A and B are shown apart, each in its own frame.
Chain A
């Protein structure tokens, strides 16, 4: 790649972004050294497993199953990062009533440089799938994912971003048909910065779309999310549950939007954006937006930013629980609203374990005491 054109903070959708490490990562050479442990989630029925190292399929360590590798039908030419992802990658296309055997697991390993990959999930009438994507490593993983759900199809997509450093940018484009259901749950609990972008269009009556995310940040980390769910037809339902946790000098920013077209009557849309500041020097930005053109809708949104309850912290400590563990316990409760949306217990358990790990690593960060923070 020769020139990397990135959006500036002056653009509304990117005002809280920090893409400053991307040019550097884009010029690096990957080491290609993958870890031994791919963090597979143990399930009763082992499903397809894909390993991508720096955006390339590691065939020896993958069991492709019903998935395919090659050109995919998804574009995001209007999106500066999504457009970089290219038009080839993995594809899961399921016919009517089909479901893969077990959980689909995809591990993306980035080894110090930039890698780009696209993906496409297309579920025909009443097909269903559950996919877990795990991002590890320390490069820049840039992804574009297209999702098309036909009538009655169901997709649960769970993502965990647990790389040690670097950047993960995910751009999603989803279309949901009549009575179909899409749930995307995201956990950012590593050291990488993130940019999560999504646009989800409800195209069929009675469809359900949900985005649930727990974003944990510390040090100087940045998580930055921008999601829009659009209701184009009547009787759709959407839920957005965002839980941001920021410590030290980090920042979590969430711009979440619900759009209701004029004829999308009886839409039921809810957004809940909550932030938890573990330090006064951290920043949480929350911008819930509603754009409603229909008159008979039920839409609610709320955004709050707070700190851990001091009374609860003391109560826990008075019973012998050390301050770190007390903070971890209360923070775990805080993100539970988002993580509990994950259907499969094994997946949920693995994601909670990542949250515990995040706390286990917390001593690594020491904020200089002279730094005076701001709380926006």
Chain B
């Protein structure tokens, strides 16, 4: 589904990613761990196509299609979803308006009929409900005045409504309280654990991986994947830290 080969990327001319290769097949959940500043968020932004993140070498394809040829909104319409480490506040645009615009833009791009206001609200209510997010929050400005945890939960509500095929979730667990973590973990499983979907889960903690059990764990350090393994690797890291790998 997602194929990254020897990916190099720079931000403001500064090389951050230095040769990442990674293949994710449908049905798989991959976790990426790694020290602060190792390039995890950079990888997520490069995948989503954030302006200013320049790929200098290598390739990345989604279902065989070159992601570099696609603009961010086109990547989204192809089924890629980025859960932001720091969700953005957009005063004046309500969550509902934002998501309805987004969902319908994607449907148009895929040649599907747009959702009516009523249909959209039904989906929104269902997804918000499943994540313990009340509809009053949905009517407020996007992330405006939301607590850190509420913002992360909102990312998951958005994921539920948009229903992507590949989710790149950047520290979605940070800032969540214990109950919210469980709700979010269950949400990820419910929305994404399907044979035709895949997840790239960026996290620092085992807690989330207990809930969303990864098939593969990779360690990113200094812009490279320095180690890969199964779910046990995360447990090992939890016990022993990154040690030599972070050097």
- Which A residues are within 8 Å of any B CB, using their own CB? 309-312, 314-323, 325-326, 329-330, 333-334, 336
User: Could you tell me the distance between the alpha carbons of A323 and B84 in the complex, rounded to whole angstroms?
Assistant: 19
Does A316 lie within 8 Å of B106, measured CB to CB? no
Residues in A neighbouring B98, C-beta threshold 8 A = 316, 319, 329
Binding site for A on B (CB under 8 A): 48-51, 71-73, 75-77, 82, 84, 87-93, 98-99, 101-103, 105-106, 109, 142, 158, 162
Contacts of B89 in A (CB 8 A): 312
The interface centre, meaning the residue of A311, A317, A326, A330 with most chain B CB atoms within 10 A of its CB, is A317
- State how many angstroms separate the Cβ of A312 from the closest Cβ of chain B: 5
Contacts of B82 in A (CB 8 A): 318
- CB A9 to nearest CB in B, in angstroms, measures 36
Known contacts: A325-B105, A329-B93. The answer to whether A320 contacts B48 by CB under 8 A is no
Write out the residue numbers on chain B whose beta carbons fall within 8 Å of the beta carbon of A323: 71, 73
- The contact of B101 among A309, A318, A329, A334, by CB within 8 Å, is A329
Rounded to whole Å, the gap between the CB of B90 and the closest CB of chain A is 5
Shortest beta-carbon contacts, A-B, top 6: A333-B92, A320-B76, A319-B102, A320-B106, A315-B88, A317-B72
Which residues of the partner chain B approach A325 to less than 8 Å between Cβ atoms?
A: 101, 105
Q: Are B88 and A321 in contact (CB under 8 A)?
A: no
Partner of A319, one of B49, B71, B158: B158
In chain A, what residue has the closest Cβ to B92?
Answer: A333
B89: nearest residue on chain A (CB-CB)? A312
Report the minimum CB–CB distance from A84 to chain B (whole Å).
40
Write out the residue numbers on chain B whose beta carbons fall within 8 Å of the beta carbon of A322: 71, 73, 105
**A333 — which chain B residues lie within 8 A by C-beta?**
90-93
Give the residue of B88, B101, B109 whose beta carbon is less than 8 angstroms from that of A312.
B88
B73 contact from A309, A311, A321, A334, Cβ within 8 A: A321
Would B105 and A321 count as touching, CB distance under 8 A? yes
CA distance A333 to B102 in the complex (A): 16
Q: Quick one: which of A320, A330, A336 contacts B105, CB cutoff 8 A?
A: A320
Contact of B51 among A312, A314, A315, A336 (CB under 8 A): A314
Which of B51, B88, B103 touches A320 (beta carbons < 8 Å)? B103
Known A-B contacts A320-B109, A320-B162, A325-B105; A312 and B73 likewise in contact (beta carbons under 8 Å): no
CB-based contact A310/B92 at 8 Å: no
Which residues of chain A have C-beta atoms less than 8 A from B105's C-beta? 320-322, 325
Complex contact A315–B87 (CB within 8 A): yes
Closest partner residue, chain B, to A310 (CB atom): B51
Find chain B residues with CB under 8 A from A326 CB: 73
Q: How far is the CA of A338 from the CA of B103 in the complex (A)?
A: 28
Q: Who on chain B is nearest to A311 by CB?
A: B88
Complex interface: chain A residues within 8 A of B77 (CB): 320
Interface centre among A311, A330, A334, by most chain B C-beta atoms within 10 angstroms, is A311
Residue of A nearest to B75 (CB): A318
In the bound complex, what is the Cα–Cα distance between A89 and B123 (angstroms)? 55
In the complex, what residue of chain A is closest to B109 when comparing beta carbons? A320
A310 surroundings in chain B (CB, below 8 A): 51
CA separation between A181 and B48, bound complex, in Å? 51
Q: Note all chain A residues with C-beta closer than 8 A to B72.
A: 314, 317-318
A315–B90 touching, CB < 8 Å:
yes
CB distance from B210 to the nearest CB of A (A): 28
Chain B residues with Cβ below 8 Å from A334 are 92
How many whole Å from A276's CB to the nearest CB in chain B? 13
Q: How far is it, in angstroms, between the C-alpha of A42 and the C-alpha of B77 when the chains are bound?
A: 37
Chain A residues positioned under 8 Å from B142 (CB to CB)? 315
28 contacts between A and B (CB under 8 A): A311-B88, A312-B89, A312-B90, A314-B50, A314-B72, A314-B88, A315-B84, A316-B90, A317-B71, A317-B73, A318-B48, A318-B49, A318-B50, A319-B76, A319-B98, A319-B99, A320-B77, A320-B106, A320-B109, A321-B102, A321-B105, A322-B73, A323-B71, A323-B73, A325-B101, A329-B93, A333-B91, A333-B92
Complex formed: what's the CA distance from A320 to B92 in Å? 19
Complex CA–CA separation, A252 to B50 (angstroms): 31
CB distance from B99 to the nearest CB of A (A): 7
Q: How far is the CA of A102 from the CA of B171 in the complex (A)?
A: 56
- Given A316-B90, A321-B105, A330-B90, 18 more A-B residue pairs with CB atoms under 8 Å apart are A309-B88, A309-B90, A312-B90, A314-B50, A314-B88, A315-B84, A315-B87, A316-B98, A316-B102, A317-B49, A317-B71, A318-B50, A320-B105, A320-B106, A320-B162, A321-B101, A333-B93, A336-B92
Asked, given contacts A311-B88, A325-B101, A325-B105, whether A317 binds B76 with beta carbons under 8 Å apart, the answer is yes
Bound-complex Cα distance A325 to B103 (A): 13
Taking a contact as CB atoms under 8 Å apart, the answer to whether B90 and A320 are in contact is: no
Q: Considering the chains assembled together, what is the distance between the CA atoms of A336 and B92 in angstroms?
A: 8
Please name the residue on chain A nearest to B103 by beta carbon: A320
Q: How far is the CA of A318 from the CA of B67 in the complex (A)?
A: 13
Min CB gap A321→B, angstroms: 5
- In whole angstroms, what is the CA distance A325 to B72 when docked? 13
